Structure 1
C-alpha cells in the first residue's frame, strides 16, 4: 500500500452517463472524458483508496458509505436502457469510512457511516472512466445539507490527514452547472472560471475566504443556480495545503467552460 502523499482534486463528472453513450451526447463530453482518463498519469502513485465527495448526495450530517459492495444508484433520467445496466464493482472500504468519520468528529463536526447507501452517478461514472478496472477501494461522502461553503472547506481540512495515508480525495461536481439556461448563461461561465483561478491561487485560508463569497463572483450565480455541484470543490480546497491550487484542465462542454484543479 502506498504511503505517498496524494493530492485532493476537484473534477467534472460529466452529464449523467454521457461518457458511455454514442452520438452527439458523447461527443459533447469527449474532451471531459479524455481528461478524466488522464488522471492516473497526473498522480504521484496509484492511490491506496479514494474518498469521493459527490454533488448528488446531501445529508443533515456528513455521511460516508460503509458498505463493502455498495449498490449503484442510477440517479439520471431519460437515458438509453443500457446506461442503467452499467456496473462498477470496486470494493468499498469500511475502515476508511470509519476513519474519515472519526476525523470529522475529532474536529468538532458530527458525522456518520451509512452501511446501506450506494454510489450515485457522481461516484461511479467518473471513476469508471478514471479507473475502469475498478480495483481501487472507494468510499463516497455526502455534502452537508446547509451547502455552507466555509463549512465544507472545514470538512476538507479535517480530512486532510488521509492524504498522507495514500487516500486520493476527489471532489466530484461540475464547475458550470446551469442546465436550465445552458446556452444563454454560457458566457458567464468563462468569467466565473477566471475568478476561480484567481480565488484558488492563494493559501488555504485565502481560498476559504474567497470561496465563501463565490455567489457574488462574476458569473457565479449564473453558473450555479444551486450550488451543490460546486461544494465538492470546497472540500477539496480545504483538504489541500497552503500551496496555491494547480489547474489541471480547462475545457468546455458545448459553449460552456469547465475546469479541474488539484490541491497539493
Structure 2
C-alpha cells in the first residue's frame, strides 16, 4: 500500500463553505487526487491548547460555528462525520511516548478549520475525523515534532491534514470582507511572503522554514500571531524527514488571504 501524502490546506474565511472561489473549486476536487483514507486527522488552527496537546475523542462530534457576522445560512451548515475514539487514544499514546503532555478532549466538536474544508473535500462525511490541537505559545520546531509523532498514521491509511492559512492578517482581510471585495488586489507584502514560503517548502529547506519569522519577508505583517501557520509544520513533520512539498493550489481571497495548499511526500 502506497503511503498517503500529508496535506496543508488554507481554510481562509468560513464563508468559503458557501462561496464559489478558486479555492473552493480546488477543495471540491481534492478527494479525486487521493486514495480513500481510513480516517482523517486534522491539526486545526482553531483548536488551541497551551502546554499540552488535546486530541478530540468524541464518537459523534458536533459542528461548531466559531465565528460571527456571516450569513445565516452558514450557521445552518453541519458536518456529521463520525469521530474515532479508539484512534484518538492511539494518537495520545504516541504523543506521550514522544514526550508531549497529551490527553483526549471530550465534548470537542469540529471547528470551522476542520469542517469547512472537509465539507468541501469530503462532502459525504462518512470518514472518521479526529482533531489535534496546536499550541499558540510554541513555534515551528514544536509543531514539526508534533507532526513527527503523528507520522505512524500514514502507514495505517490515515490522511493527516494541517488546516490553517498561508497568510492570516485579519485586520487587512476584514477591511475587504466587510464590503465583499473577494477580488481585491493583492499587495506585495502578501505576494512576497507567499512566494518565499512556497520556494522554501518545495526546496525542503527546513532550517529557513523554522526561522520564518526572522527570515521570511513581511512575516509579521502576514502573521501577527502565527497559530494559523503552525498546522503547516504539523503536516510537514508528519510526512517524515526529507519530505518535499508539492504545491497543489494557489489563489487569493479578499486580496490578502493566500489560499495555498501543499502535499508533502
TM-score, length basis structure 2 = 0.89
- Whole-angstrom CA distance in 1 between matches of 2:42 and 2:15: 17
Does structure 2 conserve the Cα–Cα contact (< 8 Å) formed by 1:17 and 1:121?
no
For residue 125 of structure 1, report the CA deviation from its aligned partner.
0.9
SS in 2 for 1:91: coil
Q: Kindly indicate whether residue 260 of structure 2 is the aligned counterpart of residue 259 of structure 1.
A: yes
SS in 2 for 1:200: helix
Corresponding position of 2:211:
213
Corresponding position of 1:11:
9
For residue 185 of structure 1, report the CA deviation from its aligned partner.
7.7
For residue 193 of structure 1, report the CA deviation from its aligned partner.
1.5
Corresponding position of 2:157:
166
- Whole-angstrom CA distance in 2 between matches of 1:196 and 1:246: 12
TM-score, length basis structure 1 = 0.90
Corresponding position of 1:23:
none
- Whole-angstrom CA distance in 1 between matches of 2:224 and 2:104: 30
Moved more, 175-184 or 186-195: 175-184
SS in 1 for 2:168: coil
List, as ranges, runs of 4+ consecutive aligned residues in structure 1 with deviation greater than 6 Å: none
For residue 192 of structure 1, report the CA deviation from its aligned partner.
1.0
For residue 153 of structure 1, the aligned residue among 144, 160, 163 is 144
Corresponding position of 1:62:
53
Corresponding position of 1:42:
33
**What's the CA shift string for 1:151-185, capped at 9, x where partnerless?**
00100011111011001000001111112123798
For residue 143 of structure 1, the aligned residue among 134, 138, 163 is 134
For residue 127 of structure 1, the aligned residue among 118, 122, 140 is 118
- Whole-angstrom CA distance in 1 between matches of 2:163 and 2:4: 16
SS in 1 for 2:160: strand
Does structure 2 conserve the Cα–Cα contact (< 8 Å) formed by 1:147 and 1:227?
no
Number of aligned residue pairs: give it.
Answer: 251
Which runs of no fewer than 5 residues in structure 1 stay unpaired? 21-25
Instruction: Please provide the CA RMSD for this pair.
Output: 1.7
